[in-house]
Amino acid sequence: MNSYKAKLSIDIKVETNATSTMTLNSSNITYDGLEDGYTLTFVTDKSSVVVSGTQSDIDTLSGTTLKGKIDVTGLDAGTHTVTVKPNLDETKYTWGEIKVQIVIGRKGDGGGTTGTDGTGTASGSITGGTTSGNTGSGSTGAGGSSSAGTSSGSTSSGNTGNNGSDSSSH
Predicted pLDDT of residue 67: 97
- What's the confidence (pLDDT) of residue 110? 56
Q: How would you write the pLDDT of the chain (170 residues) with one tens digit per residue?
A: 667 777 888 887 777 899 999 999 999 999 999 999 999 999 999 999 999 999 999 999 988 999 999 999 999 999 999 999 999 999 999 999 999 999 999 988 754 333 323 323 222 323 233 333 333 333 333 333 333 333 333 333 333 333 333 433 33
**Sheet holding 46-54: strands in order across?**
17-25, 46-54, 94-95
Query: Can you give the pLDDT at residue 13?
Result: 74
Q: Tell me, what's the pLDDT at 10?
A: 85
